[in-house]
Amino acid sequence: MPAGGGGLTVVSPPLRRRSESAFPKWARALLLVGFLAVAGAVLAARSKPATGYEVSIYRATPVAFWVGVLAAATIGVVVALYAGRWGRITGVSLAGFATMSFAALPFFRGYYYYGTGDALTHLGWAKAMLTPGFGFFDIIYPGGHSLALFLSQTIGVPVRWGMMYAMLTVSLLTLVFVPLAVWVVLPDSKAVVIAAFSAMLMMPINNISTHPHFHAYTLTTLYFPFVLYLLFKHLTRSAEDEALPEWLSAASLVLPLAVTANVFFHPQVAVNVLIFMGTVLAVGLAWRRHARVSNPAATDGGGRHHRLLLGQVLFLFAVLLVWAAQYRHTYIYLYNVLGSVVEFVQTGTGAGQAVARGGGSAQSIGVSLTELFAKLFLVNTAYIALAGGLVAAIAYGTIHERYADSNSAVTYIGASALTLGPFFAATFVGDVSEYFFRHLGFAMILVAVVGSIALYHLSERLDGVFGFDGKAKSALVVVVVVTMCLSLVTFFPSPYMYHPTAHSTEQQFVGYDATLEHRAEGAAIAGIRHGPGRFTDALNDPYDLDLQWSLNGPAASSIENVTRYRGSSSERPFYYLVVSEVARDREVLGFKELRYTREDFERIEQGTNPRLSLVQTNGEFATYYVDQRGYNLEPTETTDRSA
């Protein structure tokens, strides 16, 4: 109020200036550029759809896509670091859009289907679920297939794209609920931003036993952050409702539905969740007991104030037991794991067979295990070290008590390493050692949460000691972007990691369909390295498994070996050999001619041997008639040199 005057003057410009300083104009301009960069990247990818098999999705995608996505991710990091609270929200959103655009690349490139191996079998099952003869209860993990069918029917796309959309959906769940899980126990926007960028690294995907194409275990692993978020909401009383009793909350009511879905998605992951929740329950009971026998006023890291999980654990155990006990796969899995452990204890051999096989194949093409490990697990290892350091720091009491909920959450997860660890180790021995890398993918969700909290504490310490000036923030931008690149460059299989991309082309589907439809009765069909089995699954063709042959080892090293090769069961003096562009590029480019060279394929395609006759081709898929009259029709012994 001016002196001597009776009026009241409301001064609003300073408030407007403060609002602008919280979200400055330069940040808005950068965000506009970033979102336009993502849009341009998507248009660039769509402008060059795949016309055939691509051994590397990275190399085949236009450079403009990578420029746009990288620019958007960098702008997102810059705005999140420099532009205050609203900058953190919008910067993370922009980087998230860039990450999802990257994960959706097979859609933008117009892939007919993204997935090989198990993904083709799952496609056949999903298509069969639309028929009267096959239903929800006919497979042990129908949840992912049901999700894919729901998306397919809702969006109006083929089932094969519904399978791809299902994986994209759970990838989005990971991006959203990893930071939200951290927010529940550590409500600081800086911690949430760190967790969001940690989720964008997609560390659960290792392409050994977890994959970005449709894979039931991987899908369930990427769904787990949602369960973890609800679990933390239940524990920390952050979802209070006055209409409910103290021991219950809204999250408590939703959590049973979430864990039931977990069982339907994949019971193996549900076992991991059950062990984790059981560990949380045990730690909570221990804290309660400690509180009763000690000074009630003393603090214990916040855990004694948390709800218990007794009802939730019992419910999950009951659902898992009732569901899994119906299926023979459960007993096969238990038999294999127990058998491998017993064999290892008795003989002391067999540990890490998947690692040994992969290592031998890598070394045979001149790749060191150190190089391969660095490409696949460098970022994961750094996060494991951070998580381990934080668990140790909390155990020694070096983290301030004001972080009680986050300390308790880290303690829960750290304790679960003592219970999940032996179970995971049991799968590292014998013929089931590939399961270990499945469980490692699951563990990386927990590591991402603890690692994000560790990075938050580390940033707080460094900020208090050195301060984050412009140069430090610029260096941090570089570190974050480089880390994202190092992690996401192995998201899709490619020759960079000595594997071809999981691209199944329309030419393959059409070629196999024609070959299966017009085959002679009782004739066998053979494929290079892999037989037609997965495509007979995808096409739901009831073809005799004994007539689906695979040319392994030296069987295709010469025309003579190809003509003499015999699988089992066929009494016909001939068989059909299918040779696709996928097989050629996989062997020559993806596996660096480990088994078969370019010349091997050329000898087949040139048709110099009169026993090989071309039956049909569509440009990328050819079927040959192999005449074996006069040869011994007994099965051929081959050596399988796995890659």
Q: What is the mean pLDDT of each run of 10 residues along the chain (643 residues)?
A: 47 45 82 97 96 93 97 96 88 97 96 95 96 92 97 96 98 97 94 96 94 97 98 82 75 94 97 97 89 61 73 96 94 85 71 58 70 92 96 87 87 95 81 81 97 94 68 87 96 90 94 94 91 94 91 76 88 94 87 82 84 92 94 73 40
How many domains does the chain contain in total? 2
Same domain, yes or no, for 418 and 516? Answer: no
Query: Do residues 593 and 64 touch, judged by C-beta distance below 8 A?
Result: no
Same domain flag for 322 and 405: yes
What is the per-residue pLDDT for 62?
96
Number of Cβ within a 10 Å radius of residue 483: 18
Task: Name beta bridge partners: 617.
Answer: 622
**Cα–Cα distance, 571 to 559 (Å, whole number):** 21
Residues 6+ apart with CB under 8 A from 291: 298, 300, 304
C-beta of residue 151 within 8 angstroms of C-beta of residue 162: yes
Judge whether 85 lies within some domain: no
Domain check: are 398 and 321 in the same one?
A: yes
65 three-state secondary structure: helix
State the pLDDT at residue 12: 45
The residues, any chain, with a CB within 8 Å of residue 117's CB and separated by 6 or more, are: 502, 534
Nearest to 210 by CA among 201, 199, 222: 222
Instruction: Give me 35's structure tokens.
Output: 């979102």
What domain range includes position 388? Answer: 112-465
Same-domain status, 575 and 527: yes
Residue 475 lies in a domain: no
Kindly state whether residues 134 and 261 are assigned to the same domain.
Answer: yes
Whether residue 238 is found in the same domain as residue 290:
yes
> 520: which DSSP letter?
P
DSSP 596-636: --HHHHHHHHHT-STTEEEEEE-SSEEEEEEE-TTS--SPP
Q: What is the full DSSP assignment across 76-144?
A: HHHHHHHSHHHHHHHHHHHHHHHHHHHHTHHHHTT-SEE--THHHHHHHHHHHTTSTT--GGGSS--HH
Q: Domain for residue 91, yes or no?
A: no
Same domain, 330 and 211: yes
Which class for 526: exposed (0-12), middle (13-18), buried (19 or more C-beta within 10 A)? buried
- Residues 461 and 568 reside in one and the same domain: no
Domain co-membership, 532 together with 418? no
For 239-255, letters b (16+ CB in 10 Å) and e give: beeeeeeeebbebbebb
Question: Is there a domain that residue 252 lies in?
Answer: yes
Taking CA atoms, 31 is separated from 78, 94, 193, in Å, by 10, 7, 16
Give, as one character, the DSSP assignment of residue 641. -
Residue 499 lies in a domain: no
Question: Token digits for 232?
Answer: 């933390």
The answer to whether residue 242 is domain-embedded is: yes
pTM of the predicted model as reported, rounded to 2 decimal places: 0.91
**pLDDT for the residue 304:** 59
Question: Nearest-CA neighbor of 469 among 170, 81, 112, 123?
Answer: 81
Phi/psi of residue 303, nearest 5 degrees: -65, -35
Distance CA 53, CA 32 (A): 35
Distance of CA 8 to the CA centre of its chain: 62
Same domain, yes or no: 424 and 572? no
pLDDT at residue 423, as a whole number = 87
- Check residue 303 and give its pLDDT: 56
Residue where a domain terminates, one of 443, 465, 487:
465
pLDDT at 40: 97
Specify whether the CB–CB gap between 453 and 212 falls below 8 A: no
Distance of CA 203 to the CA centre of its chain: 8
Outline where 158-249 has alpha helix (H).
159-185, 189-200, 216-236
- Asked whether residue 374 falls in the same domain as residue 232, the answer is yes
* Contact assessment for residue 411 and residue 419, using Cβ atoms and an 8 Å cutoff: no
| Residue 575 located in a structural domain | yes
Is 43 domain-assigned? no
- Residue found by looking up tokens 């009951």 in the block: 318
Q: What is the dihedral of CA 618, 624, 625, 630, to 10 degrees?
A: 170
* Residue given tokens 């096969």 in the structure block: 332
The CA distance from 51 to 468, in Å, is 49
Q: Tell whether 454 and 581 lie within a shared domain.
A: no
> In which element (H, E) is residue 548 found?
strand 548-551
Pairing relation of β-strands 113-114 and 503-504? antiparallel
